[in-house]
Structure 1
Amino acid sequence: MSHKLPVIVADGQLRAYQHGVNVLVQTDFGLTVSYDLLYHTRVSVPGSYYGRMCGLCGNYKGQQDDKFLLPDGRVAPDSASFGSAWQVQIPEASCTDKCAGNSCPVCKKERKDVFKEHNYCGLLTAPDGPFAACHGTVSPTVYFNNCLDDVCLGNGDAQVLCQSIHSYVTACQEATVTIQPWRSASFCPLTCPANSHYEICADLCITTCTGDIMDCPETCAEGCQCDEGFFFDGQDCVTLESCGCFERGRYYKVPPHLNPYTSQELG
């Protein structure tokens, strides 16, 4: 069963809500998962979990040399084997390996060089670019290399490029670093729904139909901001009169046939 955001379950122990273009899932013990619903996921845990983690995100020991450990403690021969080893069987769901070892596609260096330019992945590392202020706080190296691999294997696909850059934007904003505008009408434009507009620091958590029920994050997040006088209902920006209700941790939209404003428009 699907529900509109925000959602609060388990007596407040788990909550999910929109934060810019990402969705945040938070627990009462400090775990936060940020997901853009397409490409990139960030998982954060409090310092009390230092040295007590394992899996795809590493062991949280501050050591890069043990990040590819298999469940039995051995070092994985490659990233594909590492990912496969940590699969979890879920009823009615399947995860199929696309490649393994030498069968995985590799992008040639000559082709990668094309995507190192400023109008591609090079924007991430440009010393005079919109993310320069973040370089000293969040290293762009991993994001740059991932961008090169993904965009190269995607034959320069614009969506892959934009999502790769957005991944670094999210990391910088979560680190409370102010970045400069980087999207334009011709480069990675973000299409916003009616009654909203793009902002590099959008705030959907406060301007929601549910009111002040969430502990909104202090960090910034780019996304679509509702225009003045409109409120986010988990999907669109609507007038206050068109907002639904929030009951038992879940938000319910007003059915179209009961919404006087929608009915008037349809009539």
Structure 2
Amino acid sequence: MQDRFTNKVALVTGAGSPRGIGRATALALAREGASVVITDIVAENVERVTEELQALGPALGVVADVRDKGAMERVVQSITERFGGLDILINVAGLTRPTPLLDISEEEYDLVLGVNLKGTFLATQAAVPAMLQRGGGAIVSLSSVSGQRGGGVFGASHYSAAKAGIMGFTKAIARELTPRGIRVNCVAPSMVDTDITGGLLTEERKAELAKGTLMGRIANVDDVVKCLLFLASDESGYLTGVTLDINGGMHLH
């Protein structure tokens, strides 16, 4: 086991899903020595993952909606009170919908943009003051190949817009924050074998999508986690404002 994150405090949003990128990222950070705080909106999922984390080291789980500015500020306050500060933010919280443009309701648009883009904004805005107090840190957000190629798999127009927004947001705040000691990057995975599609990712669909990659398979959670941890660690110390593609050759540009 490496120890890239010993004495570091990390916050991972959207970490409650049993097969999700957030949970796997949180556990990987804990295995490498970090004190880890997670958020999600489903209480029993937060409790379960927090217990897994506490078996590895110091951890805290908070039920919070990333769309709620006050809730995210309270999360960061709890982190500073419990662990003395914050070094790493991993923005994972997100959801997708395959709805065609003309069928997207205003409520669904607000949900998809709210969780994916506004949630990334609010979590980051809440975290940055605590990171500045520590003298710097690293922020890594989860974008998507959908934001680069205009969807085409499960994410429709609102999802693509949100994920493209995360890439632009990453570059903009990298310009602001890197001179102050905070590196800001994001990753853009293609389809990952998780539960985000709500059961639509069948074995037949996986095989079909695999044919569209040069690697001959879709991504698994570990493919993404390794890249997230790289960008959160000092190994990527000269990278900021970067969108790291994790797509197995599905989208070359």
Larger radius of gyration: 1
Q: Same fold (TM over 0.5)?
A: no
Q: Normalization by structure 2: what TM-score?
A: 0.28
Larger relative helix fraction: 2
